[in-house]
Structure 1
Amino acid sequence: MLDGKELLKRVIERHGGQKQWDKVNKLVVYARTSGIALPLRFRFKVFKDYAAEISTREPRVVITPHPVHGSRGGFYRDTVWIESAAGQLLEKRERSRQAFGDFRHKIWWDNLDAMYFAGYALWNYLTTPFILLQQGMQIDAMEKWQEGNEEWHRLRVLFPETVPTHCREQIFYFDDDGLLKRHDYTAEVFGKWAKAAHYCTSYRQFGGFKFPTRRTVYPRNKVGFPNRSITLVHIEIDDIDLYLQDED
């Protein structure tokens, strides 16, 4: 069994390599999202068809449109906001993660809550596996996992508190070629019960990097198996533009 560092090195190279990734400043991702997760919090019409500008340098995302055409949402670390197309600030919230601890958030989210969730989630997803190179990550290899007829390598990762993400402990699954196939976590902004198995398929190459263009998230039971009859989140990516450091 490969140790954690060896496996991560293989994974990074398979997805495009750290040297090339270090030249990328941001991604612009054109995508559509569906599933029952956000409707469960009464956000029915958000993120249906959007462009997400995602920094590769820091946890920063801008989604257009949000929540409606003519406005856009922003996420930076623990702050979220909504502004007009002209840049006029309409709403803003700091210490966003703290807000999810109250009773209202167990039932209903507003547009800033939805922006926080989408912002940190998209930033995590689209910068994986390179996000695992950040300082403070604790990475260990686990025994292989049998998924149907395939055996997948696994990494257990403990995220530092400084990284906005679903939860501290997460598990990443990779095939023999080093491509990400599955990602397990608990979406704590929904609740400690919100254990998820996130599958990555339909890989395409953009700017020399491999990205899954279909992502589907299912509930996960205590022994690690997904309930495929329920789709929590489904993301379809149509295109990705990459911008290098010297480009606008």
Structure 2
Amino acid sequence: MNDLLATAIAAHGGLDRWNQIKTIQVDAEISGAFWQMKGQADAMSRVRFEVDTTQQQLTMDYLTQDRRSLFRPDRVVLQRPDGTVVGERDDPERSFAGHDFRTRWDQLHLAYFTGEALWTYLNTPFLSTWPGFVSAEIAPIEADGETWRRLRVTFPDHIKTHTRTQVFCFGPDGLLRRHDFTIDIVDPATESQLYATDYRDIDGILIPATRRAYTTLGNDRIVLVAIDMADITIA
């Protein structure tokens, strides 16, 4: 483990504590212009999701729609609260072929994207200690009056995520400040920056309860993605 990854792991609660955890449960509101472009503006106004920290799996309850999704790398499923399956898709990543930034999504597209995204976000930075992950510190940057150390992480092929190589920026305290990436299934040419703030100590693990991605339109700064976590528990 390189020095920056070790520093980040320690700052977020340490690997010993993390390895005692199996799941993270979150009540959240997820909004922003990105979801409007995808035809899913209000789909996640109230959601409850559970992230598995031992394997790539995430379940999400859409509390305003009496609907649940189950994400795994090779399959997504939509269910009613009673477990009745109302939609399913094998090899879901293939369904994004030919898409661009403004292509509208159906509910299974949404379930896949939010599954791989939120699973990555909530397992960071501990995920980078898994077998098959390759990380290296790259040149720091100056941002928001701080020096941010940067970790370039290459994900193994079997993990579904935004793109193979991503960059994580950490502040002087070792906490994640920003996550830089492109999104292969949306637009691999467009760089995204997701800011992490409002850290909470959840039984010894530090988790940012607020995340924001922005874009500019003329003189306006527009929120592309907003993730606001109201309640976070670990088990």
TM category (shorter chain) comes to: over 0.9
Match of 1:234 in 2: 226
Superposed CA RMSD: 1.8
Query: TM-score, normalising length from structure 1?
Result: 0.89
In 1, are the aligned partners of 2:200 and 2:207 still within 8 Å (CA)? Answer: yes
Displaced runs of 4+ in structure 1, greater than 3 A? 103-106
Q: Which residue of 2 aligns with 1:47?
A: 44
2:215, 2:224 within 8 Å by CA — same for their partners in 1? Answer: yes
> Where is the strand percentage greater, Structure 1 or Structure 2?
2
Any idea what the Cα deviations from partners look like across 1:72-102, whole Å, max 9, x if unmatched?
1110112111001011111100111111113
- The answer to whether the aligner puts 1:180 opposite 2:176 as a matched pair is yes
Letter in 1 for 2:98: D
2 CA distance for matches of 1:180 and 1:103? 30
Alignment match, 1:146: 142
* Counterpart check, 1:73 vs 2:69: yes
**CA drift at 1:219:** 4.1
Unpaired runs of 5+ residues, structure 2, are: none
Q: Quick one: distance in 2 between partners of 1:104 and 1:145? A: 30
| Aligned mates of 1:10, 1:193 — CA distance in 2 | 31
CA distance in 2, matches of 1:33, 1:43: 11
Is contact 1:12-1:130 (8 Å) kept? Answer: yes
Task: Look up the match of 1:246.
Answer: none
Of 157, 169, 181, which aligns to 2:165? 169
> Could you tell me whether the CA contact under 8 Å between 1:38 and 1:114 is conserved in 2?
no
**What TM-score do the two structures reach when normalised by structure 2?**
0.94
Q: Secondary structure at the match of 1:231?
A: strand
Aligned length: 233
* % same residue: 31
Distance 2:213 2:194 in 1: 4
